[in-house]
Amino acid sequence: MMKKLLSACGLLLVCSSFSAQAAAEQLTGRDIAVMVNEADSSRDMHRNAVMVIERGKQKLVRKMEMWAVHNGDERRSLIRFNAPADIQDSQFLSWTHDDVNREDDLWVFFPSENIVRRISGGGKKSAFMRSSFALEDIEYRSVDADTHEFLRDDSVNGRDVWVIESKAIESKSDETGYGRRIVYVDKEYRLPVKVEYYDTHDRLLKIMLAGDFRNIDGIWSAGKMIMQDEGKNSRTLMQYTDVVYNQGFDASVFEHNNLKR
């Protein structure tokens, strides 16, 4: 009996030791944010997208192409609209940097104006082509532009997730319309499956849900995202198709001087 008791005590001590070790190795919020940042390990990407904007009984459908390239600590992306006719060939070009001391660059081109405009950091708060997404929601964001706090382990739709809270650092606070974001990161995909956006008064503004995840050439990718405005009868669906990675394309695509072409 005494041997069994000692064995049980020994097992308890070992389990306690493992628990303490696991707690010591607990991922930080920043660790998880870095995982999300590194989930896309590609050099470049191209995809098509359909954006469906629903406002009450009104529905707007927009079709676009997206390109992105990773070059060291800089990422460049281009969005070009193909339909409907009134916005065809409108383009958004962004250059974003891991170094938070460098200002990101964003340009827009609307054929009706025939002029390329540069958007300041604060302009990222504005709606993306009348959708529920803001410009800042669709562009790359440096991990160090925010602080990241681990909140808990949880589940979303039966999938295990980490939950972190992200807040803009002081030098970047003027560039965001959010006071904080609660991000639910899938432990397998290492991508957000849900994001809650709060304003600076801690009121819930909107919720993003991602789904239709697919493994493409070893890279997990969301096939769709839905942004739902809180307390409003409006939402936006973003559906991605024909996603390809590491195909290689002309880097001049990402030069703002070429947006008019």
Span 130-178, pLDDT tens digits? 999 999 999 899 999 999 999 999 999 999 999 999 999 999 999 999 9
Helix (H) or strand (E) holding 21: helix 2-24
**What pLDDT, on a 0 to 100 scale, did the predictor assign at position 13?**
41
The whole-angstrom separation of Cα 163 and Cα 192 is 9
pLDDT score of 72? 81
The pLDDT of residue 73? 87
Distance (Å) of CA 110 to CA 60, 131, 218: 18, 17, 36
What integer pLDDT is reported at residue 235 of this predicted model? 97
Give the pLDDT confidence score for residue 15 in this predicted structure: 46
What one-character DSSP code corresponds to residue 104? P
Which CATH number is associated with domain 29-258?
2.50.20.10
Phi, psi of 148 (to 5 degrees): -130, 120
pLDDT of residue 220: 97
Q: Which residues of the chain have pLDDT under 70?
A: 1-25, 261
The per-residue pLDDT for 19 is 41
pLDDT of 25 reads: 63
Domain ranges of the chain: 29-258
